[in-house]
Structure 1
Amino acid sequence: MSMLSEFKQFAVKGNVIDLAVAVVIGAAFGAIVSSLVADIIMPPIGVITGGVDFTELKLQLTQPVIENGAVVREGASINYGNFIQTIINFLIIALAIFSMVKAINSMKRKEEAAPATPTPTKEELLLTEIRDLLRDRKPL
């Protein structure tokens, strides 16, 4: 089997397609959660903390070099505010995924808990048939 046909067989399998769909949906979900954090959750937190924008928090290690009003060399800084923002994003995404998985598992448990109607055995089918024949028989 050639490498190209082997790759084609691999790529067409349902697992790869499902994975590709999951990646695209995951990226879109990440964008939604990022917007939720940046546009809805962080502004009230900024108001509570006195207008602090977490993304602007940093520890300046060296000052930028400026000549004639233009920045010649950027200053070195530790941007811990971006790190805090990323942690908050992660926690919210993890909470959202946890909630979705929990809801799906709950629905699956309810589905599994529903009693399935048992299939009759051969003996039960035969007895049912005999009963029906006796019931439908005309008296002598």
Structure 2
Amino acid sequence: MSTQRFRQHGSFNLRNERGVFILDAEGPWNRETFDAYIDALKARAGVRPERWGAYCVVRGEGLIPPELIPLWRESNAMLAGLGLVAVAYHFVDRQYASFYEMVFREAIGEAPFEFAYVDGWDSACAWLGERGLVSG
């Protein structure tokens, strides 16, 4: 992606469980972390089923710089084009969850997929399972 100007701020881990794509993120993120995330997504792009769901765990600050919002929306469109149909967002820090939900709702805009805010893996699996996106 872009040339790295700063050290990455924040972190992420990607994995699959029960057919669900899991992003475990710790924020806040900067451009460098976002670019690394996009590169990691592209590397996994060919290993998805036709329709799939995601569970996004947000730890720490659920904030991103405003200049990343258009890039986030582009990445959401790319993911939807690869079959992403639903995302369950979980904000671990419940004290600020309603604030982060508002920030994400605004940043996501007209999402190209269905999304919901959940309180953990079990509720994410239940919600994604209703959409036929959880295996085993």
Q: TM-score under structure 1 normalisation?
A: 0.19
Question: Normalized per residue, which structure has more helix?
Answer: 1
Greater Rg by CA: 1
The answer to which structure, 1 or 2, has the higher relative contact order (CA under 8 A, 6+ apart) is: 2
Q: TM-score under structure 2 normalisation?
A: 0.20
Question: Normalized per residue, which structure has more strand?
Answer: 2
